[in-house]
């Protein structure tokens, strides 16, 4: 009987791998076409791997808890001759040795390259003098500003980035971190309690590392929430403050989308549509669902879709079309009791609007010559300083405050 390999599919535009969470059927089970057979976890959501035709689960080569790249074989399905001809499977597939041979050849080549590097670097390395003079982190050390080929090879092997080495005091020339320093650092780490980072936590770390390569700045403006709260209390369906802020940002960017453009080389790339994301806390991370063309729909028309996306995000069931491609993000860190923060925009975005917790505060009435209480929150706009200056960022925040003071127009 022909065998069809069960392949890890492309689960999203930017998704290169997924972790096996569980096998939904036992070996020997008969499954129908388009049946979910594996549940997998990407850095964005829980998703499923389906089979293209009916068959019997013959073999499972994937291991629960392990990550596999797109195109990897997860198992085999016994299928009918008719389905085999339709899918172009002419004979049973036996990959029990071929991938291992290819992998062993690749590993042998990598080992040869490493040995060659070590042979060339070792004499030079042994002649270096340490610059560490009793300080835990020498002030004159250059850390990981320079990485030797040997160090890069070792870091690649371990899956480490330069940021992971920030706490290592180098003993090489000019305080450079050597492979020996790295190995000692890793040995010391093993004495601590260690837990594996989730795929989402690793994805968040990677995004923030890439974001921080840009010069980022933040401007702050107090915003009175009383008009918003009054308007909200009068509605039968009540939108949260974050949706009010998202709608105000969408209108402001619809009036001038250039300020949400991205600097690529010497050109500003303007957005094609006003797609705004909003941060939702999920298990061990944050997901950013996206509302498309948010400037074209009123607040009340966005409410049901917004609430649905929040539920999907908390359950980590967002589809690929519900994430990515946004030009800005709104985050309500006030729900944690924070009055102000400096959140970091996503790597592909220029802007991030944040809102703090509302607080009762006195406001001066010039006509009555007296104070009266208002509910006020600090709004922050974090931005790529290469694209925006403080003046443009401040004007955008002022426009958002103006829109929020007239919530019936949202």
pLDDT top residue among 168 and 143? 168
Q: Does position 29 have pLDDT exceeding 80, yes or no?
A: yes
In this structure, what CATH number is given to the domain that contains residue 21? 2.40.50.100
Q: Does position 133 have pLDDT exceeding 50, yes or no?
A: no
Radius of gyration (C-alpha) of the chain in whole angstroms: 27
Phi/psi at 296 (5° precision): -100, 0
**Lowest mean per-residue pLDDT among 12-16, 126-130, 206-210, 305-309:** 126-130
Tokens of 348: 């592909």
- Domain region containing 130: 99-189
Q: What is the pLDDT of residue 162?
A: 75
Name the nearest CA neighbour of 143 among 125, 167, 122, 179: 167
Q: Looking at mean pLDDT, say which of 6-10, 39-43, 351-355 comes out highest.
A: 351-355
Output the CA angle 377-378-381, nearest 5 degrees: 135
Give the integer Cα–Cα distance in Å for 290 and 272: 15
Q: How many CB atoms lie within 10 A of CB 171?
A: 19
Q: Are residues 22 and 126 in the same domain?
A: no
Confidence of residue 345 (pLDDT cuts 50, 70, 90): very high
Question: Which residue in this structure is represented by tokens 């995004």?
Answer: 207
CA distances from 188 to 117, 155, 159, 184, 192 (A): 26, 17, 18, 6, 8
pLDDT top residue among 48 and 218? 218
Q: Does position 34 have pLDDT exceeding 80, yes or no?
A: yes
Which uninterrupted H or E stretch holds 22? strand 17-23
Q: What is the pLDDT of residue 327?
A: 93
Q: Are residues 53 and 147 in the same domain?
A: no
CA distances from 23 to 9, 34, 308 (A): 16, 15, 28
Q: What is the pLDDT of residue 138?
A: 38
Q: Are residues 265 and 345 in the same domain?
A: yes
Residue 323 is classified by DSSP as B
- Please tell me the pTM assigned to this model: 0.65
User: Does some domain include residue 152?
Assistant: yes
Among 189, 222, 248, the domain boundary falls at: 189
User: Does some domain include residue 196?
Assistant: no
Mean pLDDT value of segment 106-124: 53
- Residue range 195-210, pLDDT digits in tens: 888 877 888 888 888 8
Mean of per-residue pLDDT scores for the chain: 83
Q: What is the pLDDT of residue 275?
A: 95
- Residue range 242-292, pLDDT digits in tens: 999 999 999 999 999 889 998 888 888 899 999 999 999 887 778 999 999
- Residue range 219-230, pLDDT digits in tens: 999 999 999 999
Q: Are residues 312 and 218 in the same domain?
A: yes
User: Does some domain include residue 94?
Assistant: no
Percent above pLDDT 70 for the chain? 84
User: Does some domain include residue 229?
Assistant: yes
């Amino acid at each position: 009987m022909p065998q069809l390999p069960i392949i890890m599919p492309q689960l999203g535009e930017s998704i290169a791998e997924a972790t096996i969470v569980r096998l939904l059927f036992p070996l020997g089970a008969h499954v129908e076409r388009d049946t979910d057979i594996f549940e997998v976890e990407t850095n964005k959501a829980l998703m499923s791997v389906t089979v293209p035709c009916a068959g019997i689960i013959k073999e499972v080569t994937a291991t629960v808890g392990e990550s596999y790249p797109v195109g990897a074989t997860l198992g085999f399905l016994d299928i009918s001759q008719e389905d085999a001809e339709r899918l172009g499977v002419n004979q049973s597939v036996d990959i029990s040795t071929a991938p291992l041979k290819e992998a062993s050849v690749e590993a042998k080549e990598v080992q040869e390259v490493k040995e060659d590097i070590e042979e060339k670097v070792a004499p030079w390395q042994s002649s270096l003098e340490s610059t560490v003079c009793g300080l835990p982190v020498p002030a004159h050390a250059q850390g990981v500003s320079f990485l030797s080929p040997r160090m890069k090879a070792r870091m690649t092997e371990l899956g480490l980035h330069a940021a992971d080495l920030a706490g290592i005091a180098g003993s090489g020339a000019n305080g450079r971190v050597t492979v020996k320093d790295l190995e000692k650092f890793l040995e010391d780490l093993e004495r601590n309690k260690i837990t594996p980072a989730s795929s989402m936590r690793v994805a968040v770390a990677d995004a923030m590392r890439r974001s921080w390569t840009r010069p980022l700045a933040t401007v702050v403006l107090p915003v009175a929430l009383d008009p918003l709260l009054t308007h909200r209390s009068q509605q039968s369906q009540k939108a949260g403050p974050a949706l009010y802020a998202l709608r105000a940002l969408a209108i402001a960017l619809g009036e001038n989308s250039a300020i949400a453009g991205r600097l690529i080389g010497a050109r500003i790339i303007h957005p094609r549509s006003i797609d705004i994301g909003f941060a939702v806390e999920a298990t061990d991370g944050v997901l950013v669902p996206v509302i498309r063309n948010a400037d074209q729909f009123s607040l009340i028309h966005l409410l049901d879709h917004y609430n649905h996306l929040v539920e999907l995000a908390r359950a980590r069931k967002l589809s690929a079309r519900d994430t990515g491609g946004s030009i800005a993000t709104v985050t309500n860190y006030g729900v944690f009791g924070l009055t102000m923060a400096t959140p970091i925009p996503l790597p592909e975005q220029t802007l991030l609007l944040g809102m703090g917790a509302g607080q009762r505060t006195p406001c001066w009435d010039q006509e009555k010559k007296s104070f009266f209480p208002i509910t006020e929150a600090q709004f922050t706009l974090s931005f790529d300083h290469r694209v925006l200056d403080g003046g443009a960022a401040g004007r955008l925040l002022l426009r958002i405050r103006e829109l929020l003071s007239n919530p019936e127009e949202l």
